Amino acid sequence: MSDKTDGPGNDAGLLTKTKTRTQRPPMYKVMLLNDDYTPMEFVVHVLERFFGLNHAQAFEIMLTVHKKGLAVVGVFSHEVAETKVAQVMDFARRHQHPLQCTMEKE
Ligand code: TYC
């Protein structure tokens, strides 16, 4: 006989299995892109100021971007990622550097 039990083992074997799974919000990678003009010290400063990195961490990520073309700087909620990107882009524009910062769903 059919029953109302979820999951495998019911008569039809076709009832929807109820999964209890905590929903995690999607996270976003924030990335810096390399260019030929932004001074290295400026990029290091941006990484310290907006991403809370110490000088050694900031220098390492700056060098990765310089050598590989881009690097992930951090992973954040959509709102925080958008804020970081806007802060970096605004700061770079105000200093007339072409530094680009983007975000991408993880
Ligand atoms: N390539 C730049 C230079 O040689 C340095 C740089 C590093 C620029 C990282 C942007 O995201 C960047 N001055």
Q: State in Å: Cα 83 to ligand 1 middle.
A: 22
Q: State in Å: Cα 101 to ligand 1 middle.
A: 12
Burial of 28 (0-12, 13-18, 19+ CB in 10 A): buried
Q: Is the pLDDT of residue 92 over 80?
A: yes
Which protein residues touch ligand 1 with a CB less than 6 Å away?
Answer: 32-36, 38-40, 43, 62, 65-66, 99
> Which ligand 1 atom lies nearest to the CA of residue 62?
9
- Arithmetic mean of pLDDT over the chain: 89
Q: State in Å: Cα 28 to ligand 1 middle.
A: 23
Rounded CA-CA distance 83/86 in Å is 5
Domains of the chain: 37-103 (3.30.1390.10)
8 Å CB contact between 47 and 61: yes
pLDDT at 14: 58
pLDDT at 4: 41
pLDDT (tens digit per residue) in 35-66: 999 999 999 999 999 999 999 999 999 999 99
Average pLDDT of span 78-94: 98
8 Å CB contact between 35 and 99: yes
**What are the backbone dihedrals phi and psi of residue 41, each rounded to the nearest 5 degrees, phi first?**
-65, -35
